[in-house]
Structure 1
Amino acid sequence: MTGIETSSGAHPALWPAPLADGAVDATVTVPGSKSVTNRGLILAALAAEPGWLRRPLRSRDTLLMAEALRALGVGIEETVTDRSPGSLGAPGSAGGGEAWRVIPAGLHGPATVDVGNAGTVMRFLPPVAALADGPVRFDGDPRSHERPLHGVIDALRALGARIDDDGRGALPMTVHGGGALDGGPVQVDASSSSQFVSALLLSAPRFNQGVEVRHVGAALPSLPHIRMTVDMLRAAGAAVDAPEAGGEPNVWRVAPSALLGRDLVVEPDLSNAAPFLAAALVTGGRVTIPDWPERTTQPGDALRRIFTDMGGSCELTDAGLTFTGTGRITGIDADLHEVGELTPVIAAVAALADSESSLHGIAHLRLHETDRLAALAKEINELGGDVTETADGLRIRPRPLHGGVFHTYEDHRLATAAAVIGLVVEGVQVENVATTAKTLPDFPGLWTGMLDAATAPARRA
């Protein structure tokens, strides 16, 4: 299912969202970051020596990336140990002893890559495929054919790659790898996805001339993800000139070099912490996320500020981040341009607030796993809400909500947003909650485990 269409027949796989009995009080161990895991896999595959990813995320998106790299000849060995007892955790979470050893090899085709509906796979791997010896075909879920890929395709062609896409600028396509790529200067309009920039930067150390990526077009969304790419490249030994370090605005330069095989510990996925922190906010409870980093480029770190502005409080200690709700939720006027992936859960919280919210700077969300702005407006309104789309966001006027089916359009973040509403609105049924496995393994188990933990006395403002 794509766009905002819904089936006219019976609703498949409905999950009754659990209603909270009171204020939640739990420690939830969130699995590793998808963004870090998939960037780490690419850099390790292109390194000059073997490396390790420890506590990686095991989800659909990361397993698709690993399988694609294996198809190109990279060795990825998995070691799994039992998780230590204690806080609630999920497969691939920080509570486990899982590690992946990545053994670089000569990249080769022919190969076929299934991207699923993973933006990181469909955009990060074509530059890698251009370095392979032989053709690499890319295809994926029906929605993947609708997601923009022209920025990567056009840039790679300008850098010397040969790509067959029948003029679509989208999947399916074949990259005819020549074993090397000259690289050099290239312009790209990445206003629809910052991943276009990250895709070119990640493989750039292996280009003969490196790369100079110049963004041309409207303002870049999700800049923290590009900063993450730059930080991880530097940690792997690459020389990167970036705007935040005093470089030219909207220009990134990566010199050709050998990459180091690292021993990388993957941070928890802070964006996937959003529904759990929201649970504390909407129930007036308390949730602790262990291993929250003091310094990070993850966009999810903005939740500390955003949810505090909406009525809660947080404390970062050696135990992790503890977020506490007060029993009151206030509306927010927020520019989410750099942290757009947080929008669905923020919109769900805003629909339960006591005042109006305006979320803006997020027109690019219309091109994500689904049209997230249209989907959020439609689904919250069908539960009795009052959400209208603006040119670049959503205006949310809180109304008393009621139960009903919340469609997810195979979008993991729509499903977690629905679960947040279901904590305090009886009778919410989430269609296809299994789509959360894209980035958050066993979300239903984590969610019910959080609610099964000891509840705290209700907190009131």
Structure 2
Amino acid sequence: MTDSTAQPDLWPAPTAPGAVEATVTVPGSKSVTNRALVLAAHSTEPGWVRRPLRSRDTVLMADALRTMGVQIDETVNPSGGEAWRIIPAGLHGPATIDVGNAGTVMRFLPPVAALADGEVRFVGDARAYERPLHGVIGALRKLGARIDDEGRGSLPLTVHGAGSLSGGSVEVDASASSQFVSALLLSAPRFNKGLELRHTGGALPSVPHIRMTVDMLRIAGAKVDAPQDGGTRNVWRVAPSALLGRDLTVDPDLSNAGPFLAAALITGGRVTIPGWPRRTTQAGDALPGIFTRMGGSYELTDRGLTLTGGGRINGITIDLHEVGELAPVIAAVAALAEEPSELSGIAHLRLHETDRLAALAAELNGLGGDVTETEDGLRIRPRPLHGGVFHTYEDHRLATAAAVLGLAVKDVLVENVATTAKTLPDFPQLWTAMLDEAAGDGPASVGPGRG
């Protein structure tokens, strides 16, 4: 086994000392924060985003909007948390935007740049250049934008903003990413003719994220006709309109709650996530039901959502097409179950921060597991696991999945756990604080700035 002292980028994932009993305050949703920033930038008056997630992806989004002229003032209220005041301005270039490896930034902002006055250049991490953008690029061209990508359908690229965009009707194959749809919808109220968007490809992944986009557009004052309301299947219509500045408070990131809820399931303990909304379009809202099928139980009260482990982990056969971002943590739990599992409907995960299906299979098998890739998912047969290095491929959800495995498997060394800062800042501290209390006499209360 690799010596962690010789490789400082390896984090020893702590093993649970017993049943976890904790309350964990999870930071705000990345998906909501970045959508809120884009909508506020398009508004006709200032707005507030309260309790935003401050992570690599959201800072990249905020910095990119500032580069195009939007004013974002950050304040901290000791009693109410952080708040960002967004003051819209005329979008302009020239600008160079670093998207990192953030799908929301690389896909949501080219339509914004098309509405700017001037040239906007998009660059990013090496992996970002491999991720598909053809749906957004092709649609914007049909709607009147001028984009130079040298035929790649990916980064790097330059948008030659003309200060406005005609808009109108367009067809998009969004089977590679639902973000193609959300990207166009978020800027559609600013298009001269609005937008009629028709998805023409195969099964549309991550539909809850599109529902989130529609809901947030309506909160900002947009008029949207969407399939979720009984409209035409795979067709969205957005009328041209002025967006209003809003005061929005960001809910906790429910997908990032997954590893902590998994800790309760795996250790037979109990974990509470305060602030769990009773109504939400976040993909993570599926976790309580999934983990109940895998042997837990949950209760949603005014205090939050509490998941309790039942002392046994069941295997699961499940289609995760609409909530694919949950697959890594579910795969980690399934590797510790008492029966086989099959996760399907997630072929699109091969195009995420890394090829998540290949990565999960390789890393779980490297610890002694028996995982096989299928055409659209993973087949997981539980085996006794052993310690070793779990490579994360600069993917935050691979890193948190490795931490989940470490609860029950000694000597798991997580490569580059710092990649969790993409959406979950201070994850190692949150994780160890939760487990430190499990070794003590009472329940932990863990959150940013605590422990």
Is 2:362 aligned against 1:381?
A: no
- Distance between the aligned counterparts of 1:208 and 1:307, measured in 2? 46
CA contact (8 A) 2:17 2:438 kept: no
- Once the two structures are superposed, the pairs formed by residues 145-160 of structure 1 within 5 Å of their partners are 145-160=129-144
The one-letter code sitting in structure 1 at the alignment partner of 2:73 is E
Cα offset for 1:455?
Answer: 5.2
- Once the two structures are superposed, the pairs formed by residues 29-108 of structure 1 within 5 Å of their partners are 29-82=25-78, 97-108=81-92
- Residue in structure 2 matched with residue 28 of structure 1 by the alignment: 24
- Distance between the aligned counterparts of 1:21 and 1:30, measured in 2? 22
- Residue in structure 1 matched with residue 273 of structure 2 by the alignment: 289
CA contact (8 A) 2:189 2:238 kept: yes
1:235 to 190, 206, 219: 219
- Once the two structures are superposed, the pairs formed by residues 202-217 of structure 1 within 5 Å of their partners are 202-217=186-201
- Residue in structure 2 matched with residue 436 of structure 1 by the alignment: 420
Q: Which runs of 5+ in 1 are unaligned?
A: 1-9, 85-95
- Distance between the aligned counterparts of 2:128 and 2:98, measured in 1? 10
2:202 to 212, 218, 238: 218
- Residue in structure 1 matched with residue 238 of structure 2 by the alignment: 254
Cα offset for 1:326?
Answer: 1.2
Cα offset for 1:11?
Answer: 5.2
Identity, in percent, stands at 80
- Residue in structure 2 matched with residue 264 of structure 1 by the alignment: 248
Q: For each residue in 1:203-259, what CA deviation from the matched residue of structure 2 results, as whole angstroms up to 9, or x when unmatched?
A: 000000000110011010000000000000001100000001111000000000000
- Partner SS for 1:221: coil
- Distance between the aligned counterparts of 1:30 and 1:174, measured in 2? 36
1:316 to 300, 313, 319: 300
1:134 to 110, 114, 118: 118
- Distance between the aligned counterparts of 2:104 and 2:263, measured in 1? 28
1:335 to 304, 319, 322: 319
Cα offset for 1:452?
Answer: 1.7
Aligned length: 437
TM-score normalised over the length of structure 1: 0.94
- Distance between the aligned counterparts of 1:450 and 1:264, measured in 2? 29
- Partner SS for 2:81: coil
CA contact (8 A) 1:113 1:137 kept: yes
Cα offset for 1:453?
Answer: 2.0
- Distance between the aligned counterparts of 1:217 and 1:198, measured in 2? 16
CA contact (8 A) 1:17 1:427 kept: yes
- Partner SS for 2:233: coil
- Distance between the aligned counterparts of 2:133 and 2:377, measured in 1? 23
- Distance between the aligned counterparts of 1:307 and 1:19, measured in 2? 20
2:154 to 163, 170, 179: 170
- Partner SS for 1:453: helix
Cα RMSD (Å):
1.2
Cα offset for 1:12?
Answer: 5.7
- Distance between the aligned counterparts of 2:260 and 2:331, measured in 1? 14
The one-letter code sitting in structure 1 at the alignment partner of 2:360 is L
- Distance between the aligned counterparts of 1:362 and 1:58, measured in 2? 28
Q: For each residue in 1:98-125, what CA deviation from the matched residue of structure 2 results, as whole angstroms up to 9, or x when unmatched?
A: 0000000000000010000000000000
